[in-house]
Structure 1
Amino acid sequence: MSIHPSARIHPSSVVEDGAVIGEGAVVGPFCLIGPEVVLGARVHVKSHAVITGATEIGEDTVIFSFATLGEVPQDLKFKGEKSRLIIGKRNRIREHVTMNTGTEGGGYITRVGDDGLFMAGAHVAHDCQIGNNVILVNNVAIAGHCVLEDEVIVGGLSGVHQWVRIGRGAMIGAVTMVTADVIPHGLVQGPRAHLEGLNLVGLKRRGADRAAVHALRDLYTALGEGSFRETARKMSEQGSAEDDYVREVLAFILGPSDRSFLTPR
């Protein structure tokens, strides 16, 4: 066990031998910190949280009451193999959030980036790769092997099917079931989701100028007229994509995936 002298641990909590507690970290009452856990500097674990497994948590992250991080995957194929959960810096992980370690089928690792907000009851399953500045609203469920790129927002009570990719800056509306890949900056909503357009609010927040928005709108129109991959392939081969946002969407569409894409109605 390695506990920095400046760390504060409530006497009612259990910190098992082997755990590493960083500078200025705080562990509140009635918590369990497992023997393979590493808490970075100034991590704050509030009361009744459980952090177990081979779990690393980056500096300045706050973990609220009754969160459970690093438990084994909810996957019947899991046979106890060694796997990990790595959580980045400055995340806010609210009450009853669950995040599981990885499996053999996903490279043995679940990874969460920096500066995320994971609201009450959200779930991140085994082998997910979650980017930076991601927001999961209350009771969102992300199934195994999903990829959420940077700045994705998933609305409350939504679900994301296993192996789905959601591109950077996409917005998923509340009470939505996402069963296929979502292009970067896409706007998706509905009980069985369709692509409803572009996340214009998010693009504005990220500083996209008028020309970039128009270029994305033109791309969106072109994609709606045929196969996403065939259209993207032709545009890439023709070198007709002059805007960075457009190139990002085309690269995403042509990237490795076994799933189809959510398309306009």
Structure 2
Amino acid sequence: MTERTVRRDIDRLRELGYRIESTPGVAGGYRLEAGSALPPLLLDDDEAVAIAVGLRVAAAQRLLTDAETPITALAKLEQVLPAPLRQRVNALATAVQPAVMRTGAPVTTEILGELAIACRDGERLRLQYTASDGTQTRRRIDPHAITPAERNWYLLAWDHDRDDWRTFRVDRIDQIEHTRVLFTRQDISPEEIEDRARVAASWAPQRIEGHAVMELSYEDMRAWFGPWGDGSEPEGASHTRWPIGGSDFRDVMYGLSWIPAGTDYVLDLPDAALAEIRETVARLQRALEQSVGSSA
């Protein structure tokens, strides 16, 4: 290797972003410095596979506070991996299952990566979504965040067809269409993102399902309940229909206890659930009438 070749290689590395210090003289030479920005990494095949598998484990185990970080990093890495290396990564990731990992519905890293990058870049998407009852819909959304809750991944997005926030289970998303249209992000706190994901994760088909129609405007109801008011619908200007249910009538009664004090409401529930609630309330009323309050 000639001196000119060395200088050319050093210049090329500097163009790529590497900080290289040169020292003149007989004992001089070149030395790689630590930089303030991460330059391109030169990885061999085994190193690239090891990093990709490690990022998948980090994402699945939620080892970082920001759940999107390993996903976006993995998406960038897999975009430049040759096909044979991607196959090795997929095979290893399938075989390696850490003992503490709780697996939920399977989600491909390709979809997670696409969604994470769209959240980061603020790109509007179109997608097909399959609801829990099997109904398929086409949605036009502004994706804001993906987050884990319980054993599944959820996407929080502004749904243009519903004109409201919606939380989508990622394993039920397919046919993602990139619009290349950028949107302005709306303000939403990490706490609200977490709350909405927790509400979505807690929902499941219940043995008892019905509604409470309360004498409260839709705007006031949503301000009071926050994410727990998702699925509600206005009924006129002064009432709101709120879906409520549970594994038994006690869950329904607990939910009703959160309706603001002084707010009248009527129930639309199965007859059996109404009968159980009436009997419980009647016993409670008798107990209250017979109770003797303590005096200070």
> So what's the TM-score if we normalise by structure 2?
0.27
If you compute each CA radius of gyration, which structure gives the higher value, 1 or 2?
2
Bigger RCO (CA 8 Å, 6+ sep): 2
> So what's the TM-score if we normalise by structure 1?
0.29
